[in-house]
Amino acid sequence: MRRDRFAIAGISILLLSLANASVHAASANAQRSQASPPMQTPPGQSNVLTATVWTGPYGNYINGPFTHVTICQPGTDSCQTIGGILIDTGSSGLRIFNQAKRLTLPSVTTAKGEPIAECVAFGTLSTWGRVAFADVKLGGEPTIPSMPIQVINAGYGVVPAICRSGPPLALSPGQIGYNGILGVGLWGADCGGACATLGPQNPSMYFACGPLGCRLTPMAEAAQVQNPVALLPEDNDGVVLKLPLIPFLGAPSVSGKLVLGINTRGNNKLGDASIFLADDLGNIATTFNNRTIDGFVDSGSNALFFNASIPQCDPTLAAGFYCPSDLMVLGAINTGRNGSATGPVAFSVANAVGLAATGNKAFYDVAGTFGAPFFDFGLPFFYGRNVYTGIDGVTTPGAAAGPYFAY
């Protein structure tokens, strides 16, 4: 299939990054947090959250699947529903910007009463802020009582040096383009056993903050920031993200569903999806261009990222994205751990600058470079599929235990 080259001349503001828009939007975040589509829980679908790909609450996001989450002060009716929360199958844990939150939430503390703060390095940024207890309500599911979430706040306490020496700290919703992250990935706890004790294996994520600053502290897995889905009484084995097919040149918005649980109800059946078991790091094997590398499936990556000899875009317009003159259709082969499944995947790459110039916000064919031996199946992979993310150590009824991806 051949498509004509995009016309890209005369376009002065077509950045995928939309840096200027993010600056202006920052001042308006409180007013605009209600601007996202309203939440509805259809009858009998208490495990369904809306998943809407749109500009996001700050008007600057491409291929971002957003939903709503309700948090409450533990044990009270004092609650707040927050929209513009990014659905992220590449991380675990609920993280909400301090600026988007009205409630006063109690800190998780050490035995001595010192507040716990966390530093999490994502690919693009780092989140710093205290860990707090909140009652969390997802769709029409029973409220999860008093679970640890992160309150993203770069101004909290004195940021430890190790947290200032990674990707830049997330400062505000307007800067980042969303009010929080709903991490519904492979893990029940964000760090896992490595953070449970001090020692050389500890990746320096959890800190106890006292009068002399914040120092590294051990954090038991159950006390860490949790994937809320893993704490549900039922529907706790993972999630299904369902997004429809979209046109070649994209769509301004896309309405889909985040369904909680896998094979626990009629609306989250695995059906004929294949289960690709992931390894201890959360990867499957992806064979592309005759090389087998680590692959992962991630709704929080807004493009497909892989290494190929495809012309890159002008770095001043879209650094790191591919800009082929014609639409390319490529293939890879995914294989799960222990040969759990194997099969081909077809995907498309179009000119990212041309796509952005359409003004649309959802694209199935935007891709970028990944220098590492990794293949990142970002959001474009999700359109037209039901993509399942199975949580580590939890058995899906009639199927396998996570960690796995299935589609």
Q: From the list 118, 190, 235, 365, which residue makes contact with other proteins (rule: CB under 8 A)?
A: 190
**Whole-number Å distance between alpha carbons of 380 and 246:** 10
Q: Which two tokens stand for residue 138?
A: 């997802």
**Whole-number Å distance between alpha carbons of 58 and 174:** 6
- Under the criterion CB under 8 A, does residue 310 sit at the interface with other proteins? no
Pairing of strands 238-243, 342-349: unpaired
Of the candidates 284, 299, 242, the one whose C-alpha atom is nearest the C-alpha of residue 91 is 299
- Under the criterion CB under 8 A, does residue 125 sit at the interface with other proteins? yes
- Under the criterion CB under 8 A, does residue 166 sit at the interface with other proteins? yes
**Cβ closer to other proteins: 28 or 79?**
28
Amino acid at 59: G
**Whole-number Å distance between alpha carbons of 297 and 299:** 7
Smallest separation, CB 301 to other proteins (Å): 4
Of the candidates 213, 203, 374, 198, the one whose C-alpha atom is nearest the C-alpha of residue 283 is 374
Q: Is 181 exposed, middle or buried (0-12, 13-18, 19+ CB in 10 A)?
A: buried
Smallest separation, CB 78 to other proteins (Å): 29
**Cβ closer to other proteins: 95 or 137?**
95
**How many residues bind to other proteins according to rule CB under 8 A?**
76
- Under the criterion CB under 8 A, does residue 168 sit at the interface with other proteins? yes
Q: Which 6-65 positions form the footprint of other proteins (CB under 8 A)? A: 15-19, 22-23, 60-64
Q: Which 335-394 positions form the footprint of other proteins (CB under 8 A)? A: 368-374, 376, 378-379
**Cβ closer to other proteins: 149 or 205?**
205
- Under the criterion CB under 8 A, does residue 328 sit at the interface with other proteins? no
**Whole-number Å distance between alpha carbons of 65 and 54:** 7
Residues 6+ positions from 167 with CB-CB distance below 8 Å: 121, 122, 123, 124, 125, 126
Q: From the list 14, 71, 239, 303, which residue makes contact with other proteins (rule: CB under 8 A)?
A: 303
Q: From the list 185, 228, 354, 390, which residue makes contact with other proteins (rule: CB under 8 A)?
A: 185
- Under the criterion CB under 8 A, does residue 322 sit at the interface with other proteins? no
Q: Which 216-275 positions form the footprint of other proteins (CB under 8 A)? A: none
Contact 32, 58 (CB under 8 A): yes
Residues 6+ positions from 76 with CB-CB distance below 8 Å: 135
- Under the criterion CB under 8 A, does residue 66 sit at the interface with other proteins? no
Q: Which two tokens stand for residue 396?
A: 């899906």
Of the candidates 175, 163, 94, the one whose C-alpha atom is nearest the C-alpha of residue 126 is 163
Smallest separation, CB 126 to other proteins (Å): 9
Smallest separation, CB 290 to other proteins (Å): 12
The residue range among 75-83, 122-130, 134-142, 149-157 that interacts with other proteins, by the rule CB under 8 A, is 122-130
**Cβ closer to other proteins: 48 or 347?**
347
**Cβ closer to other proteins: 150 or 263?**
150
- C-alpha distances out from residue 138 to 70, 142, 167, 339, Å: 7, 8, 30, 34
**Whole-number Å distance between alpha carbons of 124 and 167:** 6
**Cβ closer to other proteins: 30 or 198?**
198
- Under the criterion CB under 8 A, does residue 167 sit at the interface with other proteins? yes
Q: Which 134-163 positions form the footprint of other proteins (CB under 8 A)? A: 161-162
Smallest separation, CB 54 to other proteins (Å): 13
Of the candidates 58, 117, 118, the one whose C-alpha atom is nearest the C-alpha of residue 91 is 118
**Whole-number Å distance between alpha carbons of 372 and 341:** 24
Smallest separation, CB 332 to other proteins (Å): 17
Smallest separation, CB 92 to other proteins (Å): 6
Q: Which 67-96 positions form the footprint of other proteins (CB under 8 A)? A: 86, 88, 90-92
